[in-house]
Structure 1
Amino acid sequence: MRLRFLKPALLAATAALALSACATATPYGPAGVDSRYGYSDQRVDADRYRVSFAGNSVTSREQVEMALLLRAAEVTAESGYDWFSTVNRATDRDVRFQGIPDPFYRDRYSPFWGPAWRYQRRGLWSPWGDPFGREFDVREIDRFEASAEIIMGRGAKPAGDPNAFDAREVIQNLGPRVTRPM
């Protein structure tokens, strides 16, 4: 008898876990064939790279920009340089709207809607029918992508440049704060 009640609860918990796994921020990793989200970099010159990071709709602007700086620092360290400076840096926001139908709405052709459902004719309005159609909730979905062109250098970073970063300090400070793939 207890199994009969346990089975629906187990199915509901499994479904909730599966849905929560879909709604996670973009993990820090390379963008590739499986996903367009993550980082990518391209060498432009001997000491210059173009670096970008694209996040999904649950990844905040702050997380995207933090991952971009971390990737720029990693590219700098892997190339044997000590610091980098961002030359061109931009964060793009992609906005789209999604209409979600109201799950509790019943149209006039439903047998449970109202007493006049059998008698309504096309084009006639009735107090039991909605003349404007089905109701929708509208949700705004934001997605951020940050990109930068970096110049790398050796030695101490330039003191007067606010766009210059010490690569090892950035890795040490931001590395633990990004979400890594499991």
Structure 2
Amino acid sequence: MKSPFKTASIRFGLVAAAALTLAACATATPYQPAGAGGVRGGYAEQRLENNRFRVTFAGNSVTSREQVEMGLLLRAAELTTENGFDWFSTVNRATDRDTRIVSSPEPFYDRFYSPYWGPSWRYSRGGYWSRWNDPFWGRQGFDTRQIDRFEATSEVIMGRGQKPANDPNAFDAREVIQNLGSRVTRPM
């Protein structure tokens, strides 16, 4: 029969290795083409007409809604200047949210060697954790959390000259690049 201390130390080592691996992967989606470098997410575009594109930016579970929407606007501005235009206007802009609830076992729970630990749960919503649902002495067993992913999509119409003053969805492309270019996460 294995020693409970040896089993606990092996589990601790495995959990520490998994935590380090996950920490290395827990970075926001970089501002780059979708799928580049094996990263899920990023920007993509499709030309619809000479001066009209559909632009999307998808983030991973640690990319905020604000970062996703900045990525969309920055890509629209870059496309505008690359195609010889001065301003762009967004049409039908939307940001979708994909939510999953994930439960994972508590790594140190062992029903054979830990008589004072047992199943319980908690959840994360909006960045805050609930208390452990535990009727007996702080037992732990399952960790439940909410994972959100955002994807922004817009059709973009481009124009030359001064941007339309009466269009609240019109942006000066060079100003957007200047203001947002340094605020997005670039690939490493």
Of residues 28, 38, 41, the one that matches 1:25 is 28
- Name 1:40's counterpart in structure 2: 44
- Cα distance change, pair 29–81 in 1 and its aligned pair in 2 (3 A): same
Q: Secondary structure at the match of 1:181?
A: coil
Bigger Rg, which one:
1
- Name 2:62's counterpart in structure 1: 58
Aligned length: 151
- Within the alignment, does 1:135 sit opposite 2:141 as a pair? yes
RMSD over equivalenced CA pairs, Å? 2.4
Q: Secondary structure at the match of 1:103?
A: coil
Amino acid paired to 1:21: A
Of residues 136, 147, 153, the one that matches 1:147 is 153
Q: How many Å apart are 1:19 and its aligned residue?
A: 3.7
- Name 1:178's counterpart in structure 2: 184
Q: Percent identity?
A: 70
TM-score w.r.t. the length of structure 2 is 0.73
Unaligned runs of 5+ in 1: 1-12, 115-129
Q: How many Å apart are 1:101 and its aligned residue?
A: 1.3
Q: Secondary structure at the match of 1:56?
A: coil
Q: Secondary structure at the match of 1:150?
A: strand
TM-score w.r.t. the length of structure 1 is 0.76
Moved over 4 A (4+): 13-18
Q: Structure 2 CA distance, aligned partners of 1:15 and 1:26?
A: 21
- Cα distance change, pair 28–153 in 1 and its aligned pair in 2 (3 A): same
Q: Structure 1 CA distance, aligned partners of 2:154 and 2:57?
A: 9
Unaligned runs of 5+ in 2: 1-15, 117-135
- Cα distance change, pair 79–19 in 1 and its aligned pair in 2 (3 A): same
